[in-house]
Structure 1
Amino acid sequence: MQGLTPRGALYAPPPPDGDFYKISGLLSDRDSALIERVRAFMESEVAPLIEDYWARDKFPHEIVPKIAALGIGGVGYEGYGAAGGSMLLNGFVSMEIARVDASIATFWGVHTGLSAGSIYLCGDEEQKQRWLPPMMRFETIGSFGLTEPLVGSATAGGMMTTCRREGDARVLNGEKKWIGNATFADINVIWARDQTSGEVKGFVVGNDNPGFSVRKIENKIALRVVQNGLITLKDCRVPESDRLQKADGFKDVAKVLRMTRAGVAWFAVGCGRGAYEHALRYATERMQFGRPIGGFQLVQDLLVRMLGNVTASQCLMLRLGQLQSEGKMTDAQASLAKAFCTVKCRETVGYARELLGGNGIRLENHIGRFVADAEAIYSYEGTREMNTLIVGKAITGLSAFV
C-alpha cells in the first residue's frame, strides 16, 4: 500500500516483519517449509475469523481438522505418529501460531504439550501406543488438569484432589480449575495426591467417566477462544491401566512443566511480535497531519521499543530452544525465559495499544485482543513471581520460597 513521505512523495512501506535479526534463517529448508505452512494457515484460515470467535467466547472447532493436516501434532516428539523434529522447531511453531492468535496457540500447546506430553513422558509403552497416535492426528483431544480452585502456585505441596486405591481401580475426588480444552476434550490428564503415600499420581480420565463433570468458565477478559473448564471429580473410578505408570511424584509433573514452560515463553514472543507487526502496519497506513504517523519521531520510538523487546526475546528463546533440543535445558533456564518474555510481551502490547490511540481498543484493529491475551500468558504456567524465585534459588543457592 502506498503512502506519503514527510515531504509529500509517494512511497511503498516495507512489509511488517518482526524477525529483525533473521533468526528463522537458522532453520533447515524442511523446517522452514513447515513454518511457512503454519504461517499461511494462520493468516488465511484463522486471522479472518478469530475476532468474531473471541468476541463470542467460542472455539472454532471447524479448523481442528485443518490444524491436523499441517502435520504439527507432536513437533519435537519421536514415534507414535508425532511430527518429530527438534524442540527448537516446536518453539518456532508456537511463536508462529501465537503471532496470529494466542488462544489457538494455547489450544495447541495444551493438547500436544501438556496433555500428550504427560503421556509421552510419564506413560508406559502400552499407554503411549494407545493414546498418542490419535492425539497426534487430533482425532482425540486432550486437556491437562493440575490447577485447582484453591491451589495455584502452591500445587506442588498443597494439591487437594485425592486418589485412593479400591481393588484394581483408583477413586479420584476433587476439583480442577482453569483447564484449557476441558469442555470438549475426549481425555483429561488429571493429577491427584495419593491418600496413602502422599505422592502425586497422574491419570487419564475420559469425558464419559460417570464421576467426571465439567462446567465452562464464563466472563473471561483474556484468551476468550480457549474453552476453560472447572472439572469436578466425584468418586471418579479410574482403572489401573489408565494411571500413568511412570508418574510417581510431583517431580514427574515438573518434567512436563519444564518442557511446556518454554513453549509458553515462545507464545509470549509470538504475541508480542504479532502486536508489533499490526502496529507497524497501522503506522504506515494511518494518516494524520497529511502524512503516515510512522513518520513521526515519537511513533518510531514506540516501534523501536517494541522491536527491541521482540528481538531480545527471540534471541533468548533461540538459545533456550537449542539447549532444550540438546537435552541440556534446566528448570531455571526455562523459568527465566518464561518470566522475561512474558514481561516484555506485556510491555510490547501496551506500546502497540498506545500507538493506535483510541483505535487500539477496537477488536477490528486486533491490538486489543493481544493486550488482553498477554495478561493470561503472563500468569499461566507459573507466574512471574514463582519463576523469579526458581531462578533466584539457582543463582544464589538460597531458597526464598515460603
Structure 2
Amino acid sequence: MTPSSMPKRPSDPLDLVDVDALLTDEEKAIRATVRQVCDDLVEPHVVEWYEKGELPVARELALEFGKVGLLGMHLEGYGCAGMSSVDYGLACLELEASDSGIRSLVSVQGSLAMAAIHMFGSPEQKEEWLPRMATGEVIGCFGLTEPDHGSDPASMRTRARRDGEDWVLDGGKLWITNGTIADVAVVWANAGGEHGGIRGFVVPTDTPGFEARELHTKMSLRASVTAELTLTGVRLPADAVLPEVTGLNGPLACLSEARFGIVWGCLGAARTALEAARRYSTERTQFDRPIAGFQLTQAKLAHMSTELTLGRLLALHLGRRKDTVGLRPEQVSVGKYNNVTKAIEICRTARTILGGNGISGEFPVMRHANNLESVLTYEGTVEMHTLVIGQALTGESAFR
C-alpha cells in the first residue's frame, strides 16, 4: 500500500475505528436532526436549568420534540414515527449528550408511558392517548417504584380493589420522572390474586385523590422533573385497566424498552465528557507544554476513547438484533451494565484531566458524572443487572 492510497485520518477524533461507517445515511440524518434540536433548544440553557434544579420548559420541549417525531419514535401507528430501534438509540445518545435529564423526559414519555399503552392497552386507550402523547400535547409518567420497594417491585404496597364496576387505587410512588407535569400516569398496583396480581392502570392526573409533589433535593438529574405520587382513593372506571397483561411481565417489559435507550444514551454523556477533556488537554499548558503531550494524559484519553468505542459497538449490535430478532432480558442487562459503568468511569476520568476546573459548571463533565449516578441506579441498579447476567451464566438465581 502506497502512502497516497492509505486511509485518511478520521474526521472525528472520537471515532478512530470508524463506527460511523456501520450507520446508514438515513440513520446519520436522524442523528443530525436530534443533535440540531438539542443545540438549538437545550444547550444554551441546560447549565442554568441544572444549577437551579428545574426544567421550567419541560412541556415546551415536549412539543418541540413531538414536532420532529422523537416521542414514541420507535412505536408504530397512532401518530408515532415508527422508526427503528437503532434510530431511537441514536436519538437517545444525542439527547443525553446534552443532559441525562432531557433524555429521561423522552424515555419516560416514549419507552415507559406510551410503550405501556401501546403494548398492553385497549384500542380505545391507544386512540385516546397515544396520538396526543406523540405530539407532546399530553405528557405521561410511569408509576412503578415505591419509597420502600425499588428493585423488588413484586412487594409493592400500592393496591387496587374493585368497588362495584370501578377500581379504587391507594398507595404511593417515588422518583417518578415527569410526575408533576403529567396529564396521564401509567400506575402499577397489586390487585390481588383473583384479579391477576400486578395490574397497570391508565390514570388521568386530574382524577380526585391523585397528587404529585415535585422533589427538589436532588444532586443528580437536576434538569429534570422528578416527583412523588400519592394515590388516595383514586376511583377509576373498569376500562382504566390495561387489559392485555397481568403480573410483573408488564412493567418489566416496559423497563426493558427504557433500558435499551439507556444503553445508548449514557454514551452521549460519556462522549461529551471525553471531548471536553480532549479539547481541554490540547489547550491547557503546564510545564511549558500542553498537558495532551504527557503520557499519563494520553493514556487516560486512549482508555476512555476505547471504552466509548466498545460501548458504541455493543449498543449498535443490540440495536440491530432488536430490530431483527428481538432481545432477551439478559442482553439488555449486559448493555446497561457495561455501558453505564464505563460511561461513568469515562466522566470521572475526564474530570481528572480538567483538574480543579473539572468541578466547575463552566464545563459539562461534573454535571454528566453526577447525572450518571442516577442512571447507574434507575431502570435496574448495577447490582441487579449483575445478578441477571449471573443467572444467565449459571442457571442459578441469587435474587433471594
Q: Name 1:49's counterpart in structure 2.
A: 45
Amino acid at match of 1:368: M
TM-score by length of 1: 0.93
Q: Name 1:372's counterpart in structure 2.
A: 370
1:271 aligns with 2:269: yes
Q: Report 1:2-401 matches (<5 A).
A: 17-61=13-57, 62-155=60-153, 157-197=154-194, 199-401=197-399
Cα contact 1:23–1:318 (8 A) shared by 2: no
Residues 166-217 of structure 1 deviation map (CA, whole Å, 9 limit, x = unaligned): 1221100000000000011111110000035361100111121111001111
Structure 2 Cα separation of the partners of residues 358 and 133 of structure 1: 48
Structure 2 Cα separation of the partners of residues 109 and 357 of structure 1: 33
Structure 2 Cα separation of the partners of residues 169 and 222 of structure 1: 39
Please give the secondary structure, in 1, of the residue aligned with 2:42.
helix
Cα contact 1:143–1:181 (8 A) shared by 2: yes
Q: CA 1:340–1:40 in 2, change beyond 3 Å: closer, same or farther?
A: same
Aligned length: 389
Q: CA 1:151–1:264 in 2, change beyond 3 Å: closer, same or farther?
A: same
Cα contact 2:267–2:308 (8 A) shared by 1: yes
Cα contact 2:105–2:224 (8 A) shared by 1: yes
Shift of 1:17: 4.7
- Cα RMSD after superposing both structures: 1.7
Shift of 1:378: 0.5
Please give the secondary structure, in 2, of the residue aligned with 1:236.
strand
Residues 272-311 of structure 1 deviation map (CA, whole Å, 9 limit, x = unaligned): 1121111112122223333322122111111111111111
Cα contact 2:19–2:309 (8 A) shared by 1: no
- Structure 2's unaligned 5+ residue stretches are 1-8
Structure 2 Cα separation of the partners of residues 49 and 14 of structure 1: 31
Amino acid at match of 1:330: R
Structure 1 Cα separation of the partners of residues 42 and 280 of structure 2: 20
Cα contact 2:114–2:133 (8 A) shared by 1: yes
Cα contact 2:72–2:81 (8 A) shared by 1: yes
Q: CA 1:171–1:19 in 2, change beyond 3 Å: closer, same or farther?
A: farther
- More displaced, 132-141 or 239-248? 239-248
Q: Name 1:5's counterpart in structure 2.
A: none
Q: Name 1:7's counterpart in structure 2.
A: none
Amino acid at match of 2:298: Q
Structure 2 Cα separation of the partners of residues 17 and 102 of structure 1: 23
Cα contact 1:16–1:281 (8 A) shared by 2: no
Q: Name 2:5's counterpart in structure 1.
A: none
Cα contact 1:173–1:233 (8 A) shared by 2: yes
Please give the secondary structure, in 1, of the residue aligned with 2:168.
strand
Cα contact 1:247–1:253 (8 A) shared by 2: no
- More displaced, 232-241 or 282-291? 282-291
Shift of 1:15: 7.3
Cα contact 1:16–1:277 (8 A) shared by 2: no
Structure 2 Cα separation of the partners of residues 22 and 114 of structure 1: 33
TM-score by length of 2: 0.94
Structure 1 Cα separation of the partners of residues 97 and 68 of structure 2: 17
Cα contact 1:16–1:280 (8 A) shared by 2: no
Amino acid at match of 1:364: E
Please give the secondary structure, in 2, of the residue aligned with 1:47.
coil
Cα contact 1:261–1:338 (8 A) shared by 2: yes
Structure 1 Cα separation of the partners of residues 140 and 322 of structure 2: 24
Amino acid at match of 1:312: L
Residues 284-339 of structure 1 deviation map (CA, whole Å, 9 limit, x = unaligned): 22233333221221111111111111111111111111111123310000011111
Question: Percent identical across equivalent pairs?
Answer: 38
Cα contact 2:10–2:16 (8 A) shared by 1: no
Amino acid at match of 1:260: A
Shift of 1:34: 1.4
Superposition misfits of 4+ residues, deviation over 4 angstroms? 13-17
